[in-house]
Amino acid sequence: MAKIVPFKAVRPTRDKVCLVTCRSYEEYINAELAAQLDFNPLSFLHILKPAYSNQNTVSYEKRYKLVSQKYQEFKKELILIKDKKPSIYIHKIVTKTHSFTGIIVGTSIEDYRNNIIKKHEDTLAFRVRLLKEYMNYSEFNTEPVLMTYPDNKTIENWIYNCTQKLADFEFSTTKKEIHYLWKIDDELEINWIQGIFEKIKNLYIADGHHRSEASKLLSEENKDPENTAKDYLLSYLISENNIKIYEFNRLIKDLNGLSKEDFLQKLNETFIVEIKNQQPFQPIEKHQFGMYLDHEFYSLILKPEYCIFETALDSLDTQILYSKVLLPLLNIQDLRNDERIEYISGKQSILEVKRKIDEEEFEIGFIMFPSNIQEIKDLADANLVMPPKSTYIEPKFRNGLVIYEL
């Protein structure tokens, strides 16, 4: 059964929160990052990217120590303040198209170890080690792991009642999002919601597999029995139907030596192929694929005789494309590291796929139908792993809003 715990978060003061919080620094282009660091002395980016101008010459260990040092400076200057009582936090994010509301808590590393918290992605060992070292030196985490729980009317009603009160934080971002945060520190209320989650059999990681694995490693290496913070994982729990799952479309640089005619002939063996000319084709259901090749769109529909699957993985569209097209026809073996393949989030228009191919950066593109939460759960329940870049999942969080000290 799922265990959740409150914690004493470190947060920006109410008057500075909109200046402190930031997106993940990987989302900033260099000019935007430089502008933030040059003109906003309160940005959490100063903690994430200390001495940013000479990052290439600084060792990982030194960089992580600089992160910790800058974080302590922000606390000394009272830009960041630690809450006095263990709390749980309700965080609502309103974008131009969606509204997400979830609970920020600590979840149990033991639950993760025992598969009560379930995963559906592989992790890279080197990236896990780097994240573990980062958390070890910085002694904080500000990026919650996104986890889903089954729709629950009791939790939904409780969240609704809590969010009718004045929020502790309410601010807008340059991305035209509105963020709200409510702090719940009443002990009886916390005990009650903990009891509700104890009745939930499983939580499912939607985004944050590397952070989860790094936190497990950090917990296993913890030599201080009094430091129980490392036994828990900063998490954002959200109803499974309140997340938004986008596809990742595929771009390939060449046809692996095949002519266009030969490639289409081979596709016809497995798919019903229909040319759409200049009409963009967006799949509307599973086992449909869009394709753009030589200035023309195509629809691909998996033939019925190939729609018999043994496992949840076999029925996944990204796996079908890999096993029927990318591997046997285009010789793309390693979806994560092959330099001939790139990915575009489904948040971008499929016309971006067309543009990149028309400009001859790539020769062919595939447009996917997004996966759904049930597919993710089925894979996790069967201990199977999604192919890389199968999903782009929202909400995404801002660094520096709620900080969990380790």
Q: Name residues of the chain where pLDDT drops below 50.
A: none
- With tokens 């260099």, the residue in question is 30
Per-residue confidence (pLDDT) for residue 345, from 0 to 100: 94
Contact by Cβ (8 Å): 188, 34: no
Distance (Å, whole) CA 311 – CA 393: 23
| pTM of structure | 0.94
Structure tokens at 401: 């809003």
331-339: which pairs have CB atoms within 8 A and are 24 or more residues apart?
A: 331/256, 332/252, 335/387, 335/388, 335/389, 336/388, 336/389, 339/253
Rg over alpha carbons for the chain, rounded to the nearest Å, is 23
CB burial of 184-197 (b: ≥16 within 10 Å; e: otherwise) equals beeeeebeebbeeb
What pLDDT score does 305 carry? 95
The pLDDT, as a whole number, for residue 51 is: 63
pLDDT attached to residue 284? 96
Between CA 306 and CA 325 the distance in angstroms is 13
Q: What is the pLDDT of residues 30-57, one digit of tens each?
A: 888 888 888 999 999 999 988 655 555 6
What's CA 64's distance to the chain center, in Å? 23
pLDDT score recorded for residue 153: 97
- For residue 399, the 8-state DSSP code is B
Give the model confidence (pLDDT) of 161-187 as tens digits: 999 999 999 999 998 999 999 999 999
Q: Give me the phi and psi of 248, to 5 degrees please.
A: -110, 120
Residue 254 has a pLDDT of 96
Return the pLDDT at 72. 97
Give the separation between CA 352 and CA 280, rounded to whole angstroms. 11
